[in-house]
Every structure is written in structure tokens, then in C-alpha cells.
Structure 1
Amino acid sequence: MTFYDEIAEANADNECRAWVRKLLDAKAQVVAFVDARLDGRGAGEYLGFFKGSFNLSFHIGFGGQRPSALIRFAKPGHTHSAWRAEKVANEVHTIAYLRQHTTIPLPHIHCWGLTEESPEQLGPFILMDFIEGTRLSTFLMQPTEDEEADMVFNPDIDDETLDVIYDQLADYILQISRLEFPLIGAISKNSSGAWAVTERPLTYDTNELVTATGYPADQLPTAPFNTSSDFFHSVARQRLVHLNTQRNLAKDEADVQRRLISRHRFKQLIPKYCIDDTGPFKMFCDDLRPSNMLIDTKSLRITALLDFEFTNSMPTQFVYDPPWWLLLRGPDVWLNDDRMDEFLELYVPRMEQFLRALERAEEKSAAAGVGSPEEQPRLSSRMRDSWNTGRFWFNYAARTCLDMDDVYWHALHDGESTDDGLSLLDEEVRAELERLVPVKMEQRKAYEEELDSRFAEEQSE
């Protein structure tokens, strides 16, 4: 398991807390801002807030005179501060594109703006309709009285209920899988007014790297990619920079070796697992999961899919993976505790149930004449192929910087070497290991001393 850099995380939390205090102090000004933008005629009132990983939203009502609204701000610290505008713009463009090209239930955006256009200069914002519903993750999780407890999929949810939910999600995912672009990156309308890939991909993974590990932001991509292999080689470079820069990443010499091997092996595995190298590429949302979906618990109708901030045109093979979130949490939760067999026992039945729903969606779509006649093999078959070949795990490692080492050793290491993987590496990499071990040990020592010093200062305050 890879741990966060607690110092980087604390710095991010402190930045966010200071901003949240400023936001709460400006509650009246935010309400007035929303009221003016939506012509609420002074009826605007604060109804509450919603806090997510990367955003904080105020729910504003209008005394029944018009539907209530949500103004959502990107949180500094938890989103790298220099990227807040980029993140918000990417999400607005993605939602506009999806509303134009799919039937997915999405929030209606009234307006959006950057920091200089926001109330009290609070930061980039989106003003949208408020959508009623319960988070799908809440509906599917095992009930608990502990609000801090991890989400556990409720085994008592019956298959009929799941089929109703999966049928809807399968249809949405099938629609998204048909959206294609010639490059890898963020989309917007170009100078001629056509939708195109215009910026680098800003992903959940890159945001985690910078805000949670101390990764240097200037080492990340600055432009779109032409091929999937270029993208994966960029990821491989990021993983090695990460190994060199996160001070508390490795706990001892064996851990340094383990992580160095997995990261170099990831690069070596690119030719084996990279498919459809030159595209076309497909829209993919890093953060599409039940906690970002709303459901009417009585009718079981999905009322909205939310949070498309980390959505880009990406390597096609990402779309060909079965959903990683079918157990509500990712496979890393099980891999971190060496419980791969338990994960497979729980995940595979849910995956097969979802794929049957996807097959039903494909049949319904084909009967309606939707989709291309050349759409073979179908998405459900491609997902099974991704799972059966292990490409699912390669893709998951590419998207999760903090879990890639566990993913490699549990799912991608082929066991052909007799020396814990060292024989799979060349002499140059082995020499790199000799150089890296003392560097990482010195980094960890300095990190722990700084952490202890900060803790002592906090205790004395």
C-alpha cells in the first residue's frame, strides 16, 4: 500500500479549511449572487451545503417561486490550486457535450465562471439546478450507524433491484462508449465551434499525485497525446518521478526494490497491453461511480450522474474495462490487505450481472438501429476480453498512482523470475536500484523528522 505524504496532505487540508471559512463567512453574498443570476427577486435563501472530495456546494432555495439551485465551488488544496479553473471548465464542457450527444440525466447548468467572476472572489464556480435524489452508493451500501465506516456493498440487495439499476447504467455507459475523438485530452469547442480535444488530460490520478504525494506539478503533461502508447509512456515516467519525489513512499530497502521493479515492469508491459494505439479515442470519466450518481429510491430511476471534472478523451481500452466500482470501492481496498481471492469472489458475480445488463442494452440499441453496424465485437465482449487478458489490471494500475505497486504484484507479475523480479530488469535499472536505496532512506529520515517537528509544534500550541 502507498501512503499519502501526510505533510503534503496537511498543507492541502489547511489551505482548504482557510478557504471554507472564507466561503461560510460570505454566505449572504453567495446567496445574493445566485439570486441575482437567477432573477430570484430577493427570495433566495441558504438551505444547506454539500461537501465532496473536490467541491463544496451551497443549496439555494427561492421560497417555492422557482426550482432551487446549487452553486458549486472547486475546493483549493484538494484540487491543485492552479488547476481549479481548468477543472471547472473541463467539467462544464463535458456536461454540455454529453447533454448534446446522449440521453444521460445530467444537471442543467445556468452559468459558470472563473475566480474574478465569482462572489467575493471565492473561485471558479458552476451554478446549476438542484436535483433531488439519494446517492446510489448510500442506497447500495450495507446500513451502518457509524458515519465514518467504509462503504460495504449490501449483500441483501436483491438481483431484481440491481438489474433495474444496472440496466440504466449499462445504457449510459454504452452511449458514452460511442463518443470518439482523434486525440487524448480534454474537450471543448475549438475556434470554428466544433467539439475537439483542445487541452491536456487532467485526470483524477494527476490531481492525487500533486495534492497527496508532493509530486512536482511542472513535471506533468501540458498537451494532448496522439497515441495510447505515448500516454502510457507518460504515465510510466510519472510513476518513476513519483518514486523519486515522494519522501515517505518506501519504508525500507526491500520496499524500494519492490516499487522500482513494478514501475519499470509497467513500462515493459505497455506493448503487451496497449491496444487501438492510434485511436479513435473515447470519452472516459475517472470518477464515474455510485457516490456520484443520484437515484429515486422509490422508482429506482437514476435521476442524475454528477461530477465529470476528470473526464477526457482517453485510451479506448479504458472504456473497454468492466466497471471497477461494482463493489462501491475499488479493488485496491482488497489488494492492500492481500485479499485478492476475496475480491474476486465478490466482484466476479457482480461483473457478470452487469455484463448481462450491458448485453440487454446492446440488443435494445441494435433493435432500435442505434450504433454503427461495424460495432463488433460489442462492448460487453470487449469488457470480458479486458478481464480475461488481465488488461483490466494494467489499466487500473495506469489510473491509480497510489495503488499501482500492489496491482502489479497481485495481478500483473507473471512469476517467471526466481528473484522477486530483478531478473526481468536490465543492468541499468539494477544500478539505479543501488543509487536509489540510500536516497529514499535519507528522504524518509528527513520526512519523519519534519513530521515529528510539526506534531510537536501542534501539541505546544
Structure 2
Amino acid sequence: MDWDHLAEQSSDQLFAGWLRLLFQKSPALPSRLASQHRGGTAPVTDVSEFTTGACNICCIVTFADGFRVLVRFPILGRSRFRTEKTRHEIAVMRFLSRQTTLPVPRVLGAGRWGCGPYLVMTVVEGTLLSQRLRDPAVDAPRRNPQVSDADLERAYRAMAQIVLELSKPTFSSIGALVEEPRGWRVAPRPLTLNMNELVRVGNLPPGIFAEKTFGTARAYFEELATQQQLHLQHQRNDAVKDEADCRKKYLARCLFRKIARELYEAQPGPFRLYCDDLRPSNVLVSGPEWTTTGVIDWEYTYVAPAEFTYTAPWWLLFESPEAWETDLQAFLPRFTPRLRLFCHVLRACETEQIQQGTLHDADRLSGRMAQSMDSGVFWFCLAARKSFLFDEIYWTFLDPRYFGPGSLEDRVALLSAEELVELERLVPVKVQQAREKRLEEHLSFDELVEL
């Protein structure tokens, strides 16, 4: 499904207006926040230019004694659950710094300014792993042809060690982490990157998602299937082309929910931490051996079904899944050799850690990741997490696997009586919405700022 172009325009307008307000307050604002949370008497000597990412805008504040901090502001318009996102990320970074060996920034403080939340943390030195790998001749994130196979292995080794360390803590429910006096608990809902995108460029109402944790993988996958249904119901523009397209998209979502219910039994965890956006551009390295010096940007990290951890990493080609959409079949010949190499490197890292006593043989990931392509779990989990790629993934990989050959009429016969009634209700509504080309406003500006 395409982005709602009117929702995207609205998000861009929010960003532009918010950015003007931030620039009016800067550099005094980041300087004041850095001094407030760093403490001490050293004055600020420099505030860098802002660097804009997908969800945040940041600057580095330098003090007279050489100490540097990063001041980060979640972007209004691009980030739609800014307060919740920041709170969850702080909890995750504190957990990882105390419970794992991952090098993460130290949180110095957080709060709110006039137009939203902010976060102050230590600066991690190093070069982004993605910069060492990226081809500077193209805008797209593609591997530099000058990067040797040995360098690619070094990069994969750095990522393999991070993935392994993140997989070690286990939990009994699915959701976000919260720190309490007695330790850590899974309490709020899991906030995902996909939820953010559904609101940002699908224009779903922010309050539409479930506000709870989940005790089984099946329950959570059913929730993700529900989110796919909500996407079709609530995105008004660029959602369907005509009646036939609407029927096909509705069918895919009903049948995906059927797969989720039949594929997973209602069994408890353990569940593991998963970061929706973990990739080489979030990893800093140094030296000829590409030693990891820091892992940054832990937003949209939550306790998830173990299947997310067990699937092949989507970032192996150093592209986002959205870059595959033009031809998913052509993706496999490019991806498969990279997966073999990564699993080889990961297996070696696992063996080293097993010998050191820091990993159990039963907790190896490499075999599961290799099997996830053949079993279809890779595509099932990706479809569950990527609403704007859902239809392409479902009809290319999931429908033939789980339901075999057949026509759309054959698939309609698999629907329940309630689903058939909803299908006939939904189709004319979506076709009418496509004609109207109208954007619904769910929140006032003040409510957006507070969210």
C-alpha cells in the first residue's frame, strides 16, 4: 500500500513549523539543556550545527574542559509518539548498559522544552559502520565496490556480536521495558516503528492501537494482524485503486490473521529484546579491525516474539526493505549469498562465546536464521512489521506457501461469515474515500505537541 500523500504533506508541514521554532531557540536551548544535565561549572564553548535523522534532530555541545554531550530532539511530524518513544528508549539504554556488554551512550537527563521532549546523553566516538561500507557515488545505501570481502566479514562480525548480546536477556511477556526499584519489568505496550509510520504516513488515529502487553507470541501476532486490518480501514488516500484492489487487500489481511492463529499456539515465552531499526548505521567502530565503540539509536526497541530475533536480519544488503518493493523475486538472489556469509560469521562468534561460557549452545541463532528463509518465518515476521510492504510480501511469499495454488474466489471461500459481511461493507467505503481525497484531522496542534 502506498503512503497517503496528504498525510505525508501534513507531516512535512508539522516538521517545518516545529523546526523554525527550534531554530529560534538555538543555540541557547541546547546549550542550556546540556549544562543543566551535565552539571559542574565548565562553560559551553561550542554548539554544533544540527544533524537531522529519520526521527530526531541532534547537536553536539562541547564544554571548556573538552567534555561533549549530544542533545537530541524527536521531530514533530516525523515522530508521532515522541514522549512514549523517549521514555522507552531511556529505559532500554539503561537496561543494556547494566545488563549487557553492549557499549551504549549514557543518559545524562531528559525532559521537555516548549515544543516537546528532549534527551541529553554522552557522545560516542567512532565512525559509523555504514559509512565504512557505503558507496559514496550513489545516494542509495549500497555497498561500496571498493569494500573487500574481508571488510564485509569484519562488518558482519561487529553486527553478529551485537545481535547475540541483544538476544541473551529473556522475559516472560511482550512489551516495553520499565525500570522499578526492584529491577526491570515489562509493563507498557510495545511501541514499534511500524506504529509510528501508520500514523505518520497512513494517518491512522494515534489512539487506535492496543494499550497492553502480551503473554504469548500468538496474541501479539494477532495484534499485528489487527494493525494491518486497521491500516486498510483507516487510511483514506492512496490505499486502494478500485474495488478489485480493495477486495484483494482485504483478503490478504484476513488470511494473514488466519495464518497467525494457526501457526502459533498460545504458549508463553521466553521473549527477547528486539530493535526495529538496528542496522550498520547505528553502530560506531574504530581501528583497522573495526572494533565496536558504540551502538546508538535504541528507539523502537521492545521485548518481542523470539521469532523476530530468529529471522534473518533485513539489513544484510545495507538497504531498507522498502528498497526491495520493485521486485521481491529479484531480491532473493542478492540476499541469499549475504545470508550465508553472515550465518557463517555468526556461527563462529557463537562458537567463541560458547567456549568462553557466555553463551549456551541451545541459544545459537545462526541455524534458526538460515532456516527462516526456507520456513517462511522471515517473510511472515517482515509482513507483520511492515504495513506498507504487506501486500507485496503476502501475495509473493505467504499466500502460495500456506494456501497453495488457487484463485481469489478460492480465497474468498476461506473467509468467515463475519468477514464476508465486512468485505461487502468495506469495499464501497474505500472506493468513496479514494474519490474524496480528504485528510481527517485526529488531533489538535497542542495535542500533537504533547504526544
TM-score for both structures, normalised by structure 2: 0.90
Letter in 1 for 2:404: E
- When residues 299 and 25 of structure 1 are mapped into structure 2, their CA distance, relative to the original with a 3 A threshold, is farther
Letter in 1 for 2:72: R
1:184-242 per-residue CA deviation (whole Å, 9 max, x = no partner) reads 1000123x421110111111011111111111222201111111111111111121121
1:187–1:312 Cα contact (<8 Å) kept: yes
For residue 255 of structure 2, the aligned residue among 251, 265, 289 is: 265
Q: Tell me which residue corresponds to 2:449.
A: none
Distance in structure 2 (CA, Å) of the matches to 1:45 and 1:167: 36
Q: Tell me which residue corresponds to 1:439.
A: 429
1:388 aligns with 2:366: no
1:233-254 per-residue CA deviation (whole Å, 9 max, x = no partner) reads 1111121121111112111122
Distance in structure 1 (CA, Å) of the matches to 2:267 and 2:373: 19
Q: CA deviation at 1:422?
A: 3.1
Q: Tell me which residue corresponds to 2:328.
A: 340
SS in 1 for 2:60: strand
Letter in 1 for 2:256: F
1:403-459 per-residue CA deviation (whole Å, 9 max, x = no partner) reads 111110111111624313334434543443333222111001111699xxxxxxxxx
SS in 2 for 1:362: helix
1:338-358 per-residue CA deviation (whole Å, 9 max, x = no partner) reads x23321111111111111111
Distance in structure 2 (CA, Å) of the matches to 1:330 and 1:422: 33
Which consecutive unaligned segments of at least 5 residues does structure 2 have?
441-451
2:350–2:359 Cα contact (<8 Å) kept: no
Q: Tell me which residue corresponds to 1:9.
A: 8
Letter in 1 for 2:335: Y
1:84-95 equivalences in 2 (<5 Å)? 84-95=82-93
Q: Tell me which residue corresponds to 2:179.
A: 189
1:34–1:44 Cα contact (<8 Å) kept: no
For residue 223 of structure 2, the aligned residue among 225, 234, 237 is: 234
Distance in structure 2 (CA, Å) of the matches to 1:293 and 1:9: 29
1:34-183 equivalences in 2 (<5 Å)? 34-38=34-38, 39=40, 41-63=42-64, 65-80=65-80, 83-113=81-111, 115=112, 118=113, 121-144=114-137, 149-183=139-173
For residue 342 of structure 2, the aligned residue among 354, 358, 376 is: 354
1:277-426 equivalences in 2 (<5 Å)? 277-296=267-286, 298-334=288-324, 336-337=325-326, 339-372=327-360, 375-376=361-362, 378-414=364-400, 416-420=404-408, 421-426=411-416
Structure 1 stretch displaced more, 134-143 or 419-428: 419-428
SS in 1 for 2:317: coil
Distance in structure 2 (CA, Å) of the matches to 1:445 and 1:310: 35
The aligned length equals 433
1:110–1:129 Cα contact (<8 Å) kept: yes
Distance in structure 2 (CA, Å) of the matches to 1:132 and 1:357: 25
Extract structure 1 runs of 4+ deviating beyond 6 A: none
SS in 1 for 2:116: coil
- When residues 8 and 438 of structure 1 are mapped into structure 2, their CA distance, relative to the original with a 3 A threshold, is same
Distance in structure 2 (CA, Å) of the matches to 1:161 and 1:54: 29
1:297-332 per-residue CA deviation (whole Å, 9 max, x = no partner) reads 755223221111101111111010111111122344
Q: CA deviation at 1:398?
A: 0.7
Distance in structure 2 (CA, Å) of the matches to 1:250 and 1:219: 21
Letter in 1 for 2:202: T
2:129–2:155 Cα contact (<8 Å) kept: no
Q: Tell me which residue corresponds to 1:204.
A: 193
Letter in 1 for 2:354: A
Q: CA deviation at 1:22?
A: 1.2
SS in 2 for 1:269: helix
Letter in 2 for 1:67: F
Q: CA deviation at 1:291?
A: 2.1
Q: CA deviation at 1:143?
A: 2.2
Distance in structure 1 (CA, Å) of the matches to 2:164 and 2:265: 19
2:379–2:397 Cα contact (<8 Å) kept: yes
Letter in 2 for 1:323: P
Give the superposed CA RMSD.
2.1
1:374-405 per-residue CA deviation (whole Å, 9 max, x = no partner) reads x4262111112222200110000111111111
Q: Tell me which residue corresponds to 1:456.
A: none
1:70–1:127 Cα contact (<8 Å) kept: yes
Distance in structure 2 (CA, Å) of the matches to 1:217 and 1:122: 18
Distance in structure 1 (CA, Å) of the matches to 2:418 and 2:147: 53
1:275–1:317 Cα contact (<8 Å) kept: no
TM-score for both structures, normalised by structure 1: 0.89
Q: Tell me which residue corresponds to 2:31.
A: 31
1:139–1:297 Cα contact (<8 Å) kept: no
Structure 1 stretch displaced more, 133-142 or 270-279: 270-279
- When residues 104 and 53 of structure 1 are mapped into structure 2, their CA distance, relative to the original with a 3 A threshold, is same
Distance in structure 1 (CA, Å) of the matches to 2:144 and 2:339: 15
1:5-32 per-residue CA deviation (whole Å, 9 max, x = no partner) reads 1222222222222111111111123213
SS in 1 for 2:186: strand
Which consecutive unaligned segments of at least 5 residues does structure 1 have?
451-461
Distance in structure 2 (CA, Å) of the matches to 1:330 and 1:45: 35
Q: CA deviation at 1:45?
A: 1.8
1:273–1:394 Cα contact (<8 Å) kept: no
Letter in 2 for 1:142: D
1:153–1:327 Cα contact (<8 Å) kept: yes
